[in-house]
Amino acid sequence: MADFVLVTHTRWSETPRVRHQIARLLRDAGHRVLFIERAGQAGREGPHPLREVEPGITTARGTRLLHHQLRVLPLLHRADAAYVGPQVARIAREWGAAKGCTVVNFMHDGWYLRERFPGSRILTVIHDDFEAQSRLPFRNHITWTLERTCRASDEVFALSAPLVQRLSAWCEPRLFLPWAVVPYRAPVAPAASRDTLLFWGYVDNAIDMDMVRALSAHLAATRPGFRLLFVGPTQTKGARERIAAELAALPNAELRGPCGLDELPLERTMAAILPYRRSPAIDSVTLANKSMQLLARGLPLLISAMPAFLRHEFVLRLDADGGIEPALREAGERFEQLQPMIERFCAENSPASRLRMLGVQPTT
């Protein structure tokens, strides 16, 4: 059993993403995990003591001086690191982290961890294009911390091909994609009985409603019995009401709240849809975090935007030159033929494969 300290800008209570998945992956491999959450703002939100949120996973958090997007000068980054760094080290000591524990950093500004954890292996996972997502009209302060974080890490992983290319200026990053958290399960119902296209994820502003309307109209004209099913939470204020109103105006669309995939009518689902619009965040996606869960249920992916998305026979573009129909026809007519390819892809992207990338061997 080894100790892993995960340092993030995320709260454990947020909708699970790769940080949570890696925490559970390490825990399920027999290791102890400390998940240090996004720090609270000093003077407004106090620290949070150690607490076990799941068997084998403990969380805690300290406080920060300034939000990371607002540290526009190196001096501000250094001041915050001098304030936050000792808290991170203290939390790890109180948890009982062994000397030489592995630190998994999910922050673009985690360059100070090398000093706070001498002798530890520092693994950095860059999961978003932090520069492109800067809230300010300039981003030099983010580049400053991102470069130093990469150079201070023993190994750097990136969740998309564009991020690998960007980080290559400072290190030798490795592509680290989501993995199949559940084994592949072959669909039972035949393609001929499937009449649903499923969106499962954040029902939010990233969805291209023009594409959804075009898809709805095309289904109504060519496949009158088909429907679009949107399932998931919303993060952006006001987006739920707007999207709900737009979907309600469509004759074949339905919106539901968040629920697990296996609670949905998967036996009627022909494919999963990822109808996104172009944006810096979307442009950097190589494999959406939810994709492996959808593929593990045998569902082909119908996508739009995401120019860096992995190319496979079971990934079909709704916005290709031929339009929507070729992607729908391919998904329906080749549903059974695509299953061996999907199964092989899920097997190649297993939990064990990601543990090996992290240099970890299961102990249970």
pLDDT, mean of residues 243-257: 98
With 70 as the cut, is the pLDDT of residue 363 above it? no
Whether residue 211 sits in one domain with residue 171: no
With 60 as the cut, is the pLDDT of residue 364 above it? no
Whether residue 246 sits in one domain with residue 163: no
What local confidence, expressed as pLDDT, does residue 97 receive? Answer: 97
Whether residue 222 sits in one domain with residue 167: no
Residue 354 belongs to some domain of the structure = no
Residue 352 belongs to some domain of the structure = no
CB 199, CB 275: distance < 8 Å: yes
Instruction: Report the number of distinct structural domains present in the chain.
Output: 2
Whether residue 229 sits in one domain with residue 167: no
With 80 as the cut, is the pLDDT of residue 96 above it? yes
Q: Domain limits at 163?
A: 3-179
Q: Which residues pair with 312 in a beta bridge?
A: none
Stated pTM of the model: 0.90
Whether residue 322 sits in one domain with residue 233: yes
Average pLDDT, the chain: 94
pLDDT, mean of residues 287-295: 94
Residue 185 belongs to some domain of the structure = no
Query: Where does a domain end: 179, 199, 232?
Result: 179
Residue 157 belongs to some domain of the structure = yes
pLDDT, mean of residues 181-192: 94
Q: How confident is the model at residue 318 (pLDDT cuts 50, 70, 90)?
A: very high
Whether residue 231 sits in one domain with residue 115: no
Whether residue 132 sits in one domain with residue 83: yes
Residue 140 belongs to some domain of the structure = yes
| Residue of higher predicted confidence among 194 and 136 | 194
Whether residue 236 sits in one domain with residue 156: no
What local confidence, expressed as pLDDT, does residue 168 receive? Answer: 97
pLDDT, mean of residues 30-57: 93
Query: Where does a domain end: 154, 179, 204?
Result: 179
Whether residue 199 sits in one domain with residue 146: no
The three-state (H, E, C) secondary structure of the chain, written as one string: CCEEEEECCCCCCCCCCHHHHHHHHHHHCCCEEEEECCCEECCCCCCEEEEEEECCEEEEECEECCCHHHCCCHHHHHHHHHHHHHHHHHHHHHHCCCCCCEEEECCCCCCCHHHHCCCCEEEEEECCCCCCCCCCCCCHHHHHHHHHHHHCCCEEEECCHHHHHHHCCCCCCEECCCCCCCCCCCCCCCHHHCCEEEEECCCCCCECHHHHHHHHHHHHHHCCCCEEEEECCCCCCCHHHHHHHHHHCCCCEEEECCCCHHHCCHHHEEEEEEEECCCHHHHCCCCCCCHHHHHHCCCCEEEECCCCCCCCCCEEECCCCCCHHHHHHHHHHCHHHHHHHHHHHHHHCCHHHHHHHCCCCCCC
Residue 358 belongs to some domain of the structure = no
Whether residue 236 sits in one domain with residue 147: no
pLDDT, mean of residues 271-275: 98
Q: How confident is the model at residue 16 (pLDDT cuts 50, 70, 90)?
A: confident
With 80 as the cut, is the pLDDT of residue 227 above it? yes
Residue 16 belongs to some domain of the structure = yes
Whether residue 204 sits in one domain with residue 149: no
Whether residue 269 sits in one domain with residue 129: no
Q: How confident is the model at residue 135 (pLDDT cuts 50, 70, 90)?
A: low
Query: Where does a domain end: 114, 147, 179?
Result: 179
- CATH number of the domain within which 12 lies: 3.40.50.2000
Residue 184 belongs to some domain of the structure = no
